[in-house]
Structure 1
Amino acid sequence: MFQPRQLSHDVLLRELRLSDASALAAAYVRNRHYLSPWEPVRLEEFYTEAWQATDTAKRLGAREAGEGYPLGLFAGDDLVGRFNLAGIVRGPFQSAGLGYWVDNAYAGRGLASATVQAIVETAREELGLHRIEASTLLHNVGSQRVLLKAGFQQIGMAPRYLKIAGKWQDHNLYQVVLHD
């Protein structure tokens, strides 16, 4: 379980709740243009509270099963960042994937770096994970800096890895190994 963590005087990191659906929808609407180069093309319904409530319920179900942790950055009632530790596989693998974004108005304040470092620490100390993987578009230098600051290393490049902004795009692959 992720304990809430104050990352700055006005921003709190905590697990998402079903009641956050409205804040999620508002954040995606507010950041729609800003996030469009970095995310898949979204259907209109994605930007609704109903869609976000359904998605959050699925992610909370995955959390209950120990398969993921949906996290948010909050400035008061406003969601200003989304982080997902997902696809947790136990057994000999003990691994998960990480995805994230920070609100345009909060970018460049070190919040992504602080959050990823907190997630790495929690994954190591409390979740017992061995490895976290993440990927970035080749030109997403800011996100690459965030990962490198948190101890991730680039392990390769995957051609046409994800369909982002309407086209299959190459991604750099990163991992952090949490235990020797």
Structure 2
Amino acid sequence: MPELQRLHAHHAPAVLAFELANRAYFAASVSDRGDAYFDHFADRFDALLAEQEAGVCAFHVLVAEDGPVLGRFNLLDLEDGTAVLGYRVAQHVAGRGVATATVRDLCRLAPDRYGLHTLRAAVAHQNPASRKVLTRAGFLPTGPAGPADLGGKHGTWYRRDLTLLQAPEREDDGHR
């Protein structure tokens, strides 16, 4: 069973492998990270760990039993009990309920672990799978997200109040 883990230095090789293996897949729905991201991955990864240590962000990886990273689930800009959620899963597990289940898990642990009461997420219009994940995890649309929010794309902001009861499990979410 995959495990959601807080990002640590030892995850670097697996995260890089995950990003490289899924680069074209991700670029179909979100802005590509660009060659510089991969050329300077070690520096960028160290910067993420520093942000996490400072309490500005909380980064997580979903790790398969045999070690590879299946997804990344990030809480960005932690401030005043709110954070912005970002996530991506590997192409070979997409559409199987992995993202939905993990976002639900993160919603359950975020209040106690990080003192959060609200999560927000922006999703590009051309990413219907991500919109489905958010709605199945109890997020509600709140308004337009512009190109500055989504790397040049237009989309929608979603919000989840973490003090409310969890979204019910649904039979049709592909996770069972």
Q: CA RMSD in A?
A: 1.8
Aligned equivalent of 1:13: 4
Q: Residue type matched to 1:178 in 2?
A: L
1:99-124 Cα offsets, whole Å, 9 max, x none, are 01000011111110111011111112
1:1-58 Cα offsets, whole Å, 9 max, x none, are xxxxxxxx3x22111111221111111111111011233333324225xx33322222
| Aligned mates of 2:135, 2:150 — CA distance in 1 | 24
TM superposition shift of 1:162: 3.8
TM superposition shift of 1:163: 5.4
- Percent identity of paired positions between Structure 1 and Structure 2: 31
Give the secondary structure class of the aligned counterpart of 1:132: strand
Among 126, 131, 134, the residue aligned to 1:139: 126
1:136-171 Cα offsets, whole Å, 9 max, x none, are 01131111111111111000112334454xxx2211
> Is contact 1:24–1:52 with CA below 8 Å preserved after alignment?
no
| Aligned mates of 1:74, 1:131 — CA distance in 2 | 25
Aligned equivalent of 2:54: 65
1:70-113 Cα offsets, whole Å, 9 max, x none, are 111112221121111111013xxx11001010000111111101
> Is contact 2:124–2:150 with CA below 8 Å preserved after alignment?
no
- Structure 2 CA distance for partners of 1:163 and 1:139, relative to 1, 3 Å: closer
TM superposition shift of 1:134: 0.1
- Structure 2: gaps of 5 or more residues: 165-176
Tell me which stretches of 4 or more aligned residues in structure 1 moved more than 4 Å.
none
Whether 1:107 aligns to 2:97 is no
Give the secondary structure class of the aligned counterpart of 2:32: coil
| TM-score computed with the length of structure 2 as normaliser | 0.84
> Is contact 1:16–1:56 with CA below 8 Å preserved after alignment?
no
| Aligned mates of 1:163, 1:120 — CA distance in 2 | 22
| Aligned mates of 1:87, 1:159 — CA distance in 2 | 18
Among 18, 23, 26, the residue aligned to 1:32: 23
Give the secondary structure class of the aligned counterpart of 1:169: coil
| Aligned mates of 1:43, 1:160 — CA distance in 2 | 17
| TM-score computed with the length of structure 1 as normaliser | 0.82
> Is contact 1:97–1:133 with CA below 8 Å preserved after alignment?
yes
How many residues get paired?
163
